[in-house]
Amino acid sequence: MRIPRHIGIIPDGNRRWAKDKSMDKSDGYQHGLNPGLEVLKEAMRYGVEEVTYYGFTVDNCRRPKEQIKAFQQACTDAVKLIENEAVSLLVVGNTDSKFFPEELLPYTKRNIEEDSSKMKVNFLVNYGWDWDLRNGFCSKAISRIDMIIRWGGMCRLSGFLPVQSVYADFYVVNDLWPDYKNEHFEEAIKWYQKQDVTLGG
């Protein structure tokens, strides 16, 4: 089986999920934590070497204050959950802005003494494609992505790592992110078998 070396995860649909459940939109994010851990374990089981999560973006910070607080908290919680796993963790994003959660500052350097056989996990926090490119490719510690899986039905990058995504195969799950099931991941891997890797050649 051909396993993508590096998978990008776009966990979209938290607000729509909350709305469908008659909750406040901002309540959706906390329901995305468990899916984040489940998909990580599934990727490990398949032998994926690197996973990158799209946490929140500079663009997202134009939303109402209570939503901003909610996704900042959810990202902070997610990073702390992932920290407990046997992974090499890196947070990438614009730390010069007030929207970057202070608690996540210690995660913005990868521990170089770490066992290199560990799965790499990158978490984009207050990330901006424009910030990334204008400042000399701030995300260069993140490698080329082979497959992107996006939940929530939309087929677009929404600014996700433009350089690393140039050759990525894009798989869309119609279910919303808090409704994550391992079958989504399995279907994505199955679909990936039918894509040829040409790197644009």
Q: How far is the CB of 128 from its own copies (least distance, A)?
A: 9
Q: By C-beta, is 23 or 166 nearer to its own copies?
A: 166
Alpha helices, H only, the chain:
14-20, 33-46, 65-83, 129-134, 182-192
Closest listed residue to residue 59, CA positions, set 7, 132, 6: 132
Q: How far is the CB of 168 from its own copies (least distance, A)?
A: 6
- Contact residues for its own copies (CB under 8 A)? 57, 59-60, 62-63, 129, 133, 154-159, 162-163, 165-172, 195, 198-201
Q: How far is the CB of 90 from its own copies (least distance, A)?
A: 22
- Cα pseudo-dihedral 50, 152, 85, 137, rounded to 10: 40
Q: By C-beta, is 47 or 64 nearer to its own copies?
A: 64
Closest listed residue to residue 119, CA positions, set 35, 173, 39: 39
Q: How far is the CB of 28 from its own copies (least distance, A)?
A: 16
Closest listed residue to residue 68, CA positions, set 104, 99, 24, 22: 99
Q: By C-beta, is 141 or 166 nearer to its own copies?
A: 166
Q: By C-beta, is 122 or 165 nearer to its own copies?
A: 165
State how far the Cα of 118 lies from the Cα of 140, in Å rounded to an integer.
19
